Chain A
Amino acid sequence: MIAKPIYGVTAEFDNPTTLVNAARAAREKGYRKMEAYSPFPIEELNEVLHLHKNKLPLIVLLGGITGGLTGYLLQYYITVWNFPINVGGRPLHSWPAYIIITFEMTILFAAISAVLGLLALCGLPMPYHPMFNVPRFATASRNRFFLCIEAADPLFDHDKTPEFLETLEPKEVSEVAH
């Protein structure tokens, strides 16, 4: 008989070390499509799972530049082109006075793009996710650590993968339904 398609198999650990080791083992075993879950950031996982690079800094930089330009040009256009008015005998293009708003706009745009970028790169918001089907996954936000090998992984095998996970001395191994 053919088992109904699942999202993957997950193993639960009770401390970061075992998780990291398990992840490393799985990767050495050749698994690629897997994800580790922990209640706090664990730097080691980044290098184990090769998560070093992300595009966020670039996004933020672009956001910042856009903001800065918007800020300055807005002021320049309004005071010099749109309605040139003599204010207190100051020149129309009083650039020193424009610095502040330019700066603030830079920060604003950069920050907003940082947050939107974060969401985008994490694929959030995603209120529904197969992992939530795992009953004990609730503890992943408390004190438990999960490693999930996804069914999409070429090496994934309905029987072998769980067995393999069992070898990593987890607390428990369970299937993740779609």
Chain B
Amino acid sequence: MSQIFHHSTNTFARITIFGAIFVIAFLTWAFDELNRSAYETRATVPREQPVPFSHAHHAGGMGIDCRYCHTGVETSSFANIPPTKTCMNCHSQIWSTSPTLEPVRASFRTGDSILWTRVNDLPDFVYFNHSIHVNKGVGCEICHGRVDKMPLTWQEASLQMDWCLECHRHPERVLRPREFVTTMGYTPAGDQEEIGRRLMNEYHIRSTRELTSCSTCHR
């Protein structure tokens, strides 16, 4: 009987068998990474908008308060995208001829809405309520990041469930006094954890068990 295989196959064969374990481990890791990647979540990717609206300019530069436009944020689940009217309040006077703002004026003339692209988009089975978060001292910044530094708006966080859970499990790490909710670049006056715990009592933040119950977010 003559040899079927070349000498080298021995080493090769062993590598394939014992290497398999590492390959599987690597694939699992890679899969998980992909699921958390910006490709998957689209976090930090600026979105195309009909009008290149710059939060950096309006919120950052001119220091307009978030609530001037996002009127629903304290009262409703939906923070509200401002009606064209709100834009026109100012832009009927300033930049009233700038071509980039034409879509806005057009909308105001025709009465057709401006079709903005959603930036922070949760799945339909998640019921997020802005008002309760804002009223309990969760700053805009916490989820939306430094909007005042975004020329074109992007989604800051992954918006994935485990990201939500981080705060729902440890509210003390993010809570801030109500008055600072819309502040950008807020720095706690002292130890955040300590302040957070104090605010949790003050604002009667519910227990972690309650905050992590499924029906808190899913119905």
- Tell me if chains A and B make direct contact, with any CB pair below 8 A: yes
Contacts of B8 in A (CB 8 A): 128
Determine if B24 is an interface residue (Cβ-Cβ < 8 Å).
Answer: no
- Measured between beta carbons, the chain A residues less than 8 angstroms from B209 are 84, 86
- Chain B CB within 10 Å, residue with most, of A132, A134, A137: A132
CA A132 to CA B5, docked complex, whole Å: 10
Are B6 and A132 within 8 A (Cβ)? no
Contact with A along B1-31 (1 / 0, CB 8 A): 1111111111001100110000000000000
Residues on A with beta carbons closer than 8 Å to the beta carbon of B7 = 128
User: Which of the residues B3, B6, B10, B214 comes within 8 Å of A125, measured between beta carbons?
Assistant: B10
Contact B9 A127 (CB under 8 A): yes
Which residues of B sit under 8 angstroms from A126, Cβ to Cβ? 10, 13
- Residues from chain B with Cβ under 8 Å of A134 in the complex: 1
> Are A128 and B212 in contact (CB-based, < 8 A)?
no
- State whether B5 touches A127 (Cβ < 8 A): yes
Which residue of chain B has the shortest Cβ distance to A126 in the bound complex?
B10
Total residue contacts A-B, CB cutoff 8 A: 39
CB contacts (< 8 Å) of A135 on chain B: these are: 1-2
**Contact between A125 and B17, CB atoms less than 8 A apart:** yes
The chain B residues found within 8 Å of chain A, CB to CB, are 1-10, 13-14, 17-18, 165, 209, 212, 214
Chain B residue numbers with a CB within 8 Å of A137 are: 1
- From the candidates A85, A116, A119, A132, name the one contacting B1 in the complex (CB within 8 A): A132
> B2 to A125, Cβ gap below 8 A?
no
With both chains docked as a complex, state the minimum distance between the C-beta of B162 and any C-beta of chain A, in angstroms. Answer: 10
Alpha-carbon gap, A84 to B212, bound state (A): 9
Q: In the complex where A126-B10, A127-B10, A128-B9 touch, is A133 in contact with B3 (Cβ < 8 A)?
A: yes
Min distance, Cβ B67 to any Cβ of chain A, angstroms = 35
- Closest CB in chain A relative to B165 CB, distance in Å: 8
| Contact of A69 with B by CB under 8 A | no
State A16–B17 Cα separation when bound (angstroms). 34
Point out the residue from B2, B6, B10, B13 that lies within 8 Å of A133, measured CB to CB. B2
CB-defined contacts of B10 to chain A, threshold 8 Å: 125-128
Contacts of A78 in B (CB 8 A): none
A residues in contact with B214, CB < 8 Å: 85
Bound form: Cα–Cα A152–B201 in Å: 81
Residue of A nearest to B7 (CB): A128
- Bound CA span A85–B215, Å: 12
How far is it, in angstroms, between the C-alpha of A119 and the C-alpha of B18 when the chains are bound? 10
Question: Whose C-beta in chain B lies nearest to the C-beta of A127?
Answer: B5
CB proximity of B115 to chain A, nearest CB, Å: 39
Contact B5 A128 (CB under 8 A): yes
Cβ of A27 within 8 Å of any chain B Cβ, yes or no, is no
C-beta contact mask, A78-113 vs B, less than 8 Å → 1, else 0? 000001111000000000000000000000000000
Most chain A Cβ neighbours within 10 Å, of B1, B18, B209: B1
Could you write out 29 A-B pairs with CB less than 8 Å apart? A83-B212, A84-B209, A116-B17, A116-B18, A119-B17, A125-B13, A125-B14, A125-B17, A126-B10, A127-B4, A127-B5, A127-B9, A127-B13, A128-B3, A128-B6, A128-B7, A128-B8, A128-B9, A128-B10, A132-B1, A132-B2, A132-B3, A132-B4, A133-B2, A133-B3, A134-B1, A135-B1, A136-B1, A137-B1
